[in-house]
A = this chain, B = another copy of it.
Amino acid sequence: MADSFFNSRWVDAPAQATEVSTGELPLGFRAAGVAAGIKPSGNKDIALIVSDVPETTSAARFSRSGAQSAPVLVTRQRTELHAIRAIIVNSGNANAATGNRGLDDAAKMQGGAAIVAGVSEANVAIASTGVIGVPLPIDKVIKGIAEAGRQLRSDGGADFAEAIRTTDAFAKNVSLEVALSTGTARLSVQAKGAGMISPNFATLLVFAQTDAKLDADEADLLLSVCTKRSFDRISVDGQLSTSDTIILQASGASGVSIEPETEDEKIFGEALDAALRQIALMVARDGEGARRTGRVLVRGGEQQGVERVAHAVADSPLVKTALYGGDPNWGRIIQAVGAALPGTAPLSVDITIEGIPVCVAGAVVNHDTEALKQAVQGSEIEYEITLPGEGAETERYFSDLGHEYITINADYTT
């Protein structure tokens, strides 16, 4: 399984799904990625994906930032989010904090993509990622859209994935065949997003396609559940991008239909869930020089309490630097727990690191410190925290905080 896309111990590979050549899209979809000169590097920076099926359904999620980028604002306001046929993406410029000109430019991208894709503007979503506060070079973008339209291909998924990347250290895309009761459905996902990387490039973009037939409501339900279990559970540096966008499209071209509350829904949902969770982990793990990924599992009596503790631990720069350094210092964990639950002292909390209990009922317990030190040297470290009471539980994945974050973020200049 070493070569499997599902290479985290925290994600089970879906039982009835097979990995196929990445780049191969589900039936009905074509995609392309081209270089339009937005990135100074000359790398691919315009990505287009189109469903040729008029009945295509979709669901979408966006950053809730108060400073949403122009493409997010325009897509939310003008696109039929349950019927997205085409998605036009540029990298190298976020088109954020760009005022009315930014809104006009986003509308031009939507219009251009509608023409080359042969669909209505209302069926086109827009996404941009890159530097904030700089107007788009819209002429280059429009030429790039025209070129992307000429290069659309059914195996264009890899080019598409390449063109949405900014500083991701590795590609994040997968194509699966999922065996359902009435036939095989394909599912592909392309994503970009890297923790601990220059913030102008930290945006999360996730595009998933399937040729299964899904009601728009069903697509929305599946995307909602899977997003909550994946991207809503990662802490990179506690920051929220202006541009985060997640879109699921279903062409129905396979003829395989997925109905609510069936075994097929469960199987397909597990495949989507596993793919998005694996990609979320990849986002937490990405970043030049990132060494380790953490998972914090919190149990207790109140959902609000376990969520606050999970956030506090996962976002703590002290916990993150300890993770980076392979430091078993659990004092940082209890400090984060205490800070998340002010006014509750003395708090009875249990802490286990990689299965080794270090703190019981709020106080240190004897443990093999050498074994603990060895246990935190791996690439995935698990922290279990138990608060008083029972019934609530959550988890959160997080990246470490190391010298590369400082180097990239302090020495990067707009």
Interface residues of A (CB under 8 A from B): 63-68, 72-73, 94, 96-102, 131-135, 199-200, 237-242, 315-318, 321-322, 324-325, 327-332, 334-347, 349, 358-359, 361-364, 369, 373, 401-403, 405-407, 409-414
Contact of A335 among B72, B242, B363 (CB under 8 A): B242
A204 to B111, CA, bound (A): 57
Cross-chain contact A65 with B339 (CB below 8 angstroms) = yes
Q: Tell me which residues across on chain B come within 8 A of A336, comparing CB atoms.
A: 239
Q: Tell me which residues across on chain B come within 8 A of A347, comparing CB atoms.
A: 66-67
Q: Tell me which residues across on chain B come within 8 A of A335, comparing CB atoms.
A: 65, 67, 132, 199, 239-242
How many copies are assembled? Answer: 2
Q: Tell me which residues across on chain B come within 8 A of A240, comparing CB atoms.
A: 335, 338-339, 342
Q: Tell me which residues across on chain B come within 8 A of A73, comparing CB atoms.
A: 345-346
Cross-chain contact B318 with A242 (CB below 8 angstroms) = no
Cross-chain contact B237 with A338 (CB below 8 angstroms) = no
Q: Tell me which residues across on chain B come within 8 A of A407, comparing CB atoms.
A: 403
Q: A68-B346, A338-B68, A345-B73 are in contact. Are A406 and B401 (CB under 8 A)?
A: yes
Q: Tell me which residues across on chain B come within 8 A of A238, comparing CB atoms.
A: 315-317
Q: A403-B406, A410-B324 are in contact. Are A64 and B342 (CB under 8 A)?
A: yes
Cross-chain contact B337 with A66 (CB below 8 angstroms) = yes
Q: Tell me which residues across on chain B come within 8 A of A317, comparing CB atoms.
A: 237-239, 317, 401, 405, 409
Show 12 A/B contacts (Cβ-Cβ < 8 Å), sorted by A. Answer: A67-B339, A72-B345, A97-B362, A99-B362, A199-B318, A199-B331, A239-B318, A240-B335, A318-B409, A321-B410, A402-B410, A403-B403
